[in-house]
């Protein structure tokens, strides 16, 4: 199968939407086709697979596809096509070691954008609302290598109604502009969508607290935040942050959605909160991925699946990650819940040692 044919197959899968039946046979077949492509064209990955004795001839189930530890993206070029052919290179923030930033190379953004649109619409706009989208994050003109900046630009271009805009730039938070946009929404009685990084919202909450500002946004308004709750100066708990969202914006918890995504992936995972509310179902806060992904919760030292209910490290398989690797071992802890998982924070202790072992194994194989 050539690359164009593989791209078409992935795009057709995505086009069926998040409500499509989770057909394991169909998913498995496409996952194996993608594995064969990445084994053939991604040399460091092929070396790892060979070391583990896993090749397209021996792998028959998506769970057998070798995963790459996420830290390897900081050490090696993991791409099926030459990096100079990439139309976009997304990089991790590299706040600690700027010279060691994880890089994801995309020779097309068609798959990434299609995946984003279908998944975003299902979990942030499940009622089909057309809203102005007010974004607390810098645009791609400021952060051209940020996957989140690109993601938010696609959201605005695809779903943003008149009145949408960006309220952060290279100078920082435009608190006055964001405040005025919220007051305009209040006055017009028109619901809005607030999108941005979790700690960008924290900075605006601080801005409001200093000025005694509160808003009562119209019913149907919603908020999607992403990223951790730890900033450079302090840390805030999720429950406390969401309580402040309610007090400051007047947005109920049913209309708040946390998105979990990473530079190295082409998919995002969303809280099911708003989607369940729109469907008249009881509230829940676990996260789900789209049908073109699968998540395992494993012991990183043994790679064995953890029993239901036990905490392990999240391993995601992403069919939209066509140009890099589909199966990635994260450094995040989780536990199965509902038809998804609960995100529990970063690895530590034994889990951290297991992830380090995985990186050591990968690098020793890839660099030989």
pLDDT tens for 328-343 read 999 999 999 999 999 9
pLDDT at 100: 77
In which band, very low, low, confident or very high, does the pLDDT at 315 lie, cut at 50, 70 and 90?
Answer: very high
* 133 in Cβ contact with 139 (< 8 Å): no
Kindly report which listed range (30-34, 156-160, 194-198, 359-363) carries the lowest average pLDDT score. 359-363
Question: Please, which residues bridge with residue 297 across strands?
Answer: 314
pLDDT mean across residues, the chain:
91
pLDDT tens for 250-305 read 999 999 999 999 999 999 999 999 999 999 999 888 999 999 999 999 998 888 99
Q: What CATH topology corresponds to 111-288?
A: Rossmann fold (3.40.50)
Higher pLDDT, 85 or 345: 85
118-128 average pLDDT score = 97
Cα distance from N-terminal residue to C-terminal residue, the chain: 29
pLDDT at 355: 42
Higher pLDDT, 357 or 41: 41
98-112 average pLDDT score = 90
52-81 average pLDDT score = 95
pLDDT at 362: 46
Tell me how many degrees the CA angle 227-233-239 measures, rounded to the nearest 5: 50
- What is the 3-state secondary structure of 82-133? CHHHCCEEEECCCCCCCCCCCEEEECCCHHHHHHHHHHHHHHHCCCCCCCCE
Kindly report which listed range (112-121, 193-202, 230-239) carries the lowest average pLDDT score. 230-239
168 three-class SS:
strand
Higher pLDDT, 350 or 131: 131
Higher pLDDT, 56 or 239: 56
What is the residue extent of each domain of the chain? 3-97+292-366, 111-288
Q: What CATH topology corresponds to 3-97+292-366?
A: Luciferase; domain 3 (2.30.38)
Spell out where 272-324 has E strands.
Answer: 287-288, 293-298, 312-318
pLDDT tens for 140-188 read 999 999 999 999 999 999 999 999 999 999 999 999 999 999 999 999 9
In which band, very low, low, confident or very high, does the pLDDT at 97 lie, cut at 50, 70 and 90?
Answer: low
pLDDT at 230 over 80: no
- What percentage of the chain has pLDDT greater than the value 70? 90
pLDDT at 348: 77
pLDDT at 149: 95
pLDDT tens for 186-226 read 999 999 999 999 989 999 999 999 999 999 999 999 999 99
pLDDT at 345: 87
Higher pLDDT, 88 or 359: 88
């Amino acid at each position: 199968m050539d690359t164009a044919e593989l791209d078409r197959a992935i795009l057709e899968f995505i086009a069926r939407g998040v409500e499509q039946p989770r057909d394991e046979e169909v998913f498995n077949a496409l996952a194996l086709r993608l594995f064969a492509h990445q084994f053939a064209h991604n040399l460091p990955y092929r070396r790892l697979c060979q070391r583990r004795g896993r090749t397209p001839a021996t792998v028959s189930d998506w769970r057998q596809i070798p995963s790459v530890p996420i830290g390897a993206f900081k050490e090696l070029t993991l791409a099926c096509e030459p990096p100079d052919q990439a139309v976009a290179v997304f990089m991790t923030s590299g706040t600690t070691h700027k010279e060691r930033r994880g890089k994801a190379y995309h020779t097309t953004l068609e798959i990434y954008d299609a995946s984003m649109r279908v998944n975003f619409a299902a979990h942030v706009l499940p009622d089909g609302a057309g809203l102005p989208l007010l974004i607390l994050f810098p645009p791609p003109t400021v952060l051209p290598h940020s996957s989140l900046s690109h993601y938010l630009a696609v959201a605005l271009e695809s779903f943003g109604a008149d009145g949408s805009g960006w309220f952060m730039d290279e100078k920082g938070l435009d608190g006055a502009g964001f405040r005025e946009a919220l007051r305009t929404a209040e006055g017009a009685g028109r619901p809005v969508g607030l999108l941005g990084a979790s700690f960008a919202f924290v900075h605006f909450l601080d801005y409001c607290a200093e000025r005694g500002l509160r808003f009562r946004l119209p019913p149907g308004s919603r908020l999607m935040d992403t990223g951790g709750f730890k900033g450079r100066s302090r840390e805030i708990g999720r429950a406390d942050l969401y309580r402040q969202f309610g007090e400051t914006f007047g947005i109920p918890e049913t209309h708040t959605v946390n998105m979990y995504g990473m530079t190295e992936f082409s998919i995002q995972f969303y809280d099911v909160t708003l989607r369940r509310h729109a469907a008249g179902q009881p509230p829940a806060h676990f996260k789900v991925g789209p049908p073109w992904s699968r998540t395992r919760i494993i012991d990183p030292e043994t790679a064995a699946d953890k029993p239901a209910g036990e905490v392990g490290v999240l391993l995601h398989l992403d069919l939209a990650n066509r140009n890099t690797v589909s199966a990635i071992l994260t450094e995040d802890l989780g536990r199965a819940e509902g038809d998804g998982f609960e995100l529990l924070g970063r690895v530590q202790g034994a889990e951290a040692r297991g992830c380090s072992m995985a990186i050591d194994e990968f690098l020793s194989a890839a660099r030989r």
